[in-house]
């Protein structure tokens, strides 16, 4: 007997099941990719830091002028935090993000000769960079598969699909890394993010029209099977 209040066990999943999920999502969202606009690894690093608690759309509204004013790590390092905070005000948490951006710029200059490090192990050592940001930059800017970026969409869909019972992003990532084929780690995040925005949103998921309905335990609860009428 499980102890009272114990977390229910996650049903065992396999790479075959996650491949089936990906196949359906690839057909539904053939152009899934990061929606952050960038032209260099450093710009992607900055944009990803800004995307915390902010939509990609709003980040993309702010970054063109931001990158014009601060085109490289040296420009961010030379700026006052207050100046940066004003420039990124629309992204929210502007003081904290300004501190992270300037700190990351200084670290890139001092530890990496002004170049964004390629590995997640190095990226997470930069101020304001956690596992998600490191996975986004390492995967999208350098094509490395060293982690799975888990944002709110990825976490929500992963739980709804029964792939984890965890809520902590790093624990969700750990569960996913065991069942998502490594070559697909970057694409997995893109597909779930796009599907989370288009169909499986937080408050009112559109389960009846979801391509994953037959693979989603929560969706099958939300959309009971239709009863067949008995024929005379």
User: Residue 18: is it exposed, middle or buried by C-beta count within 10 angstroms (0-12/13-18/19+)?
Assistant: buried
Catalytic residue among 151, 168, 171, 175: 151
Catalytic residue among 132, 168, 171, 214: 132
Helix (H, G, I), strand (E, B) or coil at 98: helix
175 is annotated as an active-site residue:
no
Output phi, psi for 214, to 5 deg: -70, -10
Tokens coding 150: 């888990």
Rounded distance between C-alpha atoms, residue 137 and residue 160, angstroms: 26
132 is annotated as an active-site residue:
yes
Tokens coding 56: 């990609």
Rounded distance between C-alpha atoms, residue 26 and residue 30, angstroms: 5
Contact criterion met (CB below 8 Å) for 110 and 122: no
Residues recognised as catalytic: 132, 151
């Amino acid at each position: 007997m499980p102890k009272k209040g114990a977390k229910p066990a996650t049903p065992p999943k396999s790479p075959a099941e996650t491949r089936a999920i990906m196949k359906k999502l690839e057909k539904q969202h053939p152009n899934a990719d990061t929606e952050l606009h960038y032209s260099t690894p450093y710009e992607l690093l900055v944009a990803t830091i800004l995307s915390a608690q902010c939509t990609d759309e709003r980040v993309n509204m702010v970054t063109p002028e931001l990158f014009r004013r601060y085109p490289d790590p040296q420009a961010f390092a030379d700026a006052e935090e207050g100046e940066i905070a004003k420039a990124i005000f629309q992204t929210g948490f502007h003081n904290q993000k300004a501190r992270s951006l300037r700190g990351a710029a200084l670290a890139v200059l001092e530890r990496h000769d002004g170049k964004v490090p390629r590995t997640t192990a190095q990226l997470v050592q930069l101020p304001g960079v956690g596992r998600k940001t490191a996975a986004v930059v390492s995967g999208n800017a350098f094509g490395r598969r060293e982690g799975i970026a888990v944002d709110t969409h990825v976490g929500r869909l992963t739980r709804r699909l029964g792939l984890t019972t965890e809520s902590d992003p790093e624990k969700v990532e750990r569960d996913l890394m065991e069942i998502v084929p490594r070559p697909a780690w970057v694409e997995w995040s893109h597909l779930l993010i796009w599907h989370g925005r288009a169909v499986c949103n937080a408050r009112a998921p559109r389960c009846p029209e979801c391509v994953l309905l037959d693979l989603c335990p929560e969706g099958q609860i939300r959309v009971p099977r239709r009863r067949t009428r008995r024929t005379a």
